Amino acid sequence: MKHEEQAKEDAEPQGAVHSRQTHHWLLGIGVFLILVSILGFATVADDLRHVGELLAVASLCIAGAALVTASFPNPLSRMLALPWLAMAVIAGALCGAATNHMTIGFAFGTLSGLLLSVATSTRRFH
């Protein structure tokens, strides 16, 4: 009995279950962020007069889309570490809101997220 359990553990890669759970979490958080951004576009940023509100809600949508894309196996999620992009965009939006310079925070967060996602990707560009 003990040998069968050991053979079963050896047959599965050790990170397979963890990887599946991570993909489910990325998908769930990404869908949640997209739904919150849709609600934000419908309520907070509905008049499109304030750039800061629009960028704050757009950063949630971009972060959610990056996490949903990262949760599925596709060429983009294999070339870029998209969760870094999502975290940096949200961090940039938070810093922009805290300093009352949303445009600079959004731009800095997006740029740093793109650089981090390229730098930490598992596949290198040629």
For 104, other C-beta atoms within 10 Å of its C-beta total: 13
What is the value of pTM for the model shown? Answer: 0.78
Asked if 64 and 33 touch (Cβ cutoff 8 Å), the reply is: yes
Provide the pLDDT confidence category of residue 113 given band limits of 50, 70 and 90: very high
Asked if 31 and 68 touch (Cβ cutoff 8 Å), the reply is: yes
pLDDT exceeds cutoff 90 at 76: no
pLDDT exceeds cutoff 90 at 27: yes
CA separation for the pair 79, 98 (Å, rounded):
32
Average per-residue pLDDT in the chain? 83
Q: Quick one: average pLDDT of 95-123?
A: 90
Provide the pLDDT confidence category of residue 33 given band limits of 50, 70 and 90: very high
Per-residue pLDDT, 29: 96
Percentage, residues of the chain above pLDDT 90: 54
Tell me which residue of 79, 63, 9 sits closest to 31, measured CA to CA: 63
Per-residue pLDDT, 48: 75
pLDDT exceeds cutoff 90 at 12: no
